[in-house]
Amino acid sequence: MRAVLALLTMTALVGCGGPTGPASTDTSSDALPSLERRVEFIERYVTFRRGYSDLGFHVAYLNNGSGLVPGPSEWDIRIVAEVPPEELAAWVPPGVAALPSAETQWLAGVPGAGRAAAIKEWYTSGGLVVGIDRERSVVAYRRLKI
């Protein structure tokens, strides 16, 4: 019985190691002085790598991977960016049809949100919203998981 109890305790302790994923944050791109620092920061919170000529974002990320009872993390990642025209296609989510409009209140509070005003190509799927302005090479992106 002691061996079983010791094994269960060890398993629980191993499962409660340090946090997985990036650190919790509530950060606006306005807090970072250069495009290079902004790109470095955002790449900690998204799985893709893209080129940017300008980048505004607001990242709210809660890492729930540590503690006595680890749980799933939560996030609201909002981006408005000017990107190289040849990279616009990489922003389109596979298998999602374009719509002429989408709910855009989430853009409030994102630095540079005004650049997204002319977007007329929107893709939405679950907690993902992507808007593309091909004429100005602007992308609006939101990934939400709560």
Helix H or strand E encompassing 2:
helix 2-15
pTM across the whole model: 0.85
Q: Give Cα separations from 128 to 1, 35, 62, 98 (angstroms).
A: 49, 24, 18, 13
CA distance 118 to 55: 17
pLDDT tens per residue across all 146 residues of the chain? 554 333 333 334 444 445 578 999 999 999 999 999 999 999 999 999 999 999 999 999 999 987 777 888 999 999 999 999 999 999 999 999 999 999 999 999 999 999 999 999 999 999 999 999 999 999 999 999 98
d(CA 112, CA 95): 28
